[in-house]
Structure 1
Amino acid sequence: MKKVLVAGTALMLAGTVAAQAKPGVDEPGVNLSGDARVTYIGKQDYKRAADSANGYDDFFESRVGVNFDALSKAQGVSAKARLYFDGYGFEDDAPWNGEERTEVSVDYAYLVAPLGDWTIKAGRVNLDYSKFFSWNIRPTRLLATYTHGDIKKPGSMSITPFVGVKKEGSTSVDAWDDNDFMEYGLVVKAKLQNAWNLAGYVRYDEDQREKMNGIDIETGEPALLDNKDRSGAIADVFLNNDDAGCDFGFHAELGYKAADVQGTEDDGIGGYVSLSTKAMSPQFTPTLLVGATKDGFVADNDFGFVMVGGELSTQVMKVGDGGDLLFGALVANYKASDRLSLTGNLLYADFDNDAPETLDSAVEVSGIIDYALNESASLSYKAGYLTPSLTSGGGVAEDAYFAHLLRLNVNF
């Protein structure tokens, strides 16, 4: 079934691209849109050996992405795809290296089909659940969403069961027996009567693979190795009051990942609570965030700040890397004008490590400036300073990290 799913999505896209370009609203055909960016990135001491660091390293990167929104003549059936004109992943930098690049990568590509009260999506599709637990993750999936009421209004809810292919059996043994790495899950979202949002995510990963491609330790030659089973459950619950019209903002989330899924000895848990308010000024929004991760739980890389979590260009570590963690942060957002917004971050992370030369704590000080040049173009500047402290020792391991980037974004 999973191979038919992929083939069906590809045929759907191929058939609709041949239709008339730039159709009118709700007319069959293809609408094109997209964005482009160019970025300067500079990093200090990100690569480290026992007694030295690489110093200041900088580079330019850029990418162009094109969105295809195709509407079929069949009632309500559509397809969506996004192409990047490079061979990098959808969250990776595409650095300039002086060489010609002719690759094209796919960010997402899926079809959408209404079926009564259900909406079917199939292909490379993202669930967009939460930046803390699961965000921008796009294996090949088949999902169906049932919606009761208007999901933007109180008293409504949606239910989305899904099945996905994490990895096809790639060895001769697994390909012969069709032993694959699959996922089966359910996402439920509800708009409560007070207009707060409650969401839940549960998934079971089934790793049927018997062998994996690797290197024989004794001979150093390629070999088929026994697969380490990564089967297990993950789950999350998320409560927030986004768009509820409250004087304060509230987010609370708690996630769980089974030990085999993480590749750890114990099951992992992690979560956070954040409170924000505009009581001081309509333009100024301070946010206090506290959280913890334990037993190997690592948050999605999109959750975080500039150095700890956040964008990969400047990221030193994800939230949860480095051991059991307690963290607290103060985030200040200030909208100086319709065009200019400022963000400041102060993070303290405390690690529960006893072994020598392991992380004891870290402090991040960072900021973001966003300026809208016009309706379709903007400039962004990010800068961050992260100072780590180890349980023992010092030297280069405790030297501060520094990074900054300047980016021009254009939408079309």
Structure 2
Amino acid sequence: MTATRGLEGIVATTSSISSIIDDTLTYVGYNIDDLAEHASFEEVIYLLWHRRLPTKAELDEIKKDLAENAELPKEVLDHFKTYPIKQVHPMAALRTAVSLLGLFDPEADEMTEEANYRKAIRLQAKIPTIVTAFSRIRKGLEPVAPRKDLSFAANFLYMLTGNEPDEIAVEAFNKALVLHADHELNASTFTARVCVATLSDVYSGITSAIGALKGPLHGGANEQVMKMLTEIGSIENVEPYIHNKLNNKEKIMGFGHRVYRKGDPRAKHLRKMSEKLTKLTGEPHWYDMSTKIEEIVTSEKGLPPNVDFYSASVYHSLGIDHDLFTPIFAVSRVSGWLAHILEQYANNRLIRPRAEYTGPGKQQYVPIEQRG
């Protein structure tokens, strides 16, 4: 047996959910460009879970189901108030809250197909409420209850700020949700599938996935991109800052991708939204710095930007706290995680790979009195 570091190039399962072929991302055969321009996030959720786009009646039904399940148990809201707020990252709060939610779901350990679908609805509906409620509680504000008359994207922004968002903000956020919904067998999705392949419950699978997404080499990259932009500060500082990083062989967050060679097809959509939003907010320097960084890194390292790079300035322009960027990734990606969890349950086999042993051999036990 020979190991492959990071399982690069290893095909670990079959799936009918999403594909990355020749640098083209599709959800159930629909090109991401088509979906990003035309689909609502609710349509994408339905597509990932049912492998087809919904009819008008089916779309209305899933919207209704999500709206009716968005509220959190009081115990979860009260639990946030016990956290050491100044040191708790929102991703840690989200991970803990999702695990806690399982304690209040009477169907948590019910493993029928119907029960698992109902749990999927509850989790998809409640994760935005978790993120926004924690964000407000840590600032000493009361959570804003979800509204049943708003779209998924609009409702998130409303619960975050208490104000109904404008049309451009909703368009930008909906587009970001669509682009982040699924991405084949990425680290967090693989983690979720490994977890539930033991026939553990849906809440355990999503908690595991959130733990994997928390890392800066996965979901945490967009937060690090905004940190970099803030450190640079102005367009004049871009060249010396980036060249210093490159000369010291430091990683530039938001560039390159394990499975794309010509570039992440999602990045261009957020690049356009970044340009539009930064102009509207009177802060075009965020976009200008980003394009200058892209120019340098792409020309000198041959690395195009990935989806994380421009999502940072998009979220910043929407007035979202920087440490909420990764939880927002989870708000979207939970739709893909749940699709993969349901697919894993439907045709399950325990995921148990092997390891190439590189330690010593032919050792013999020596009594402790004889050890030097």
Q: TM-score, normalised by structure 1?
A: 0.22
Considering only CA atoms, is the larger Rg found in Structure 1 or Structure 2?
1
Q: TM-score, normalised by structure 2?
A: 0.23
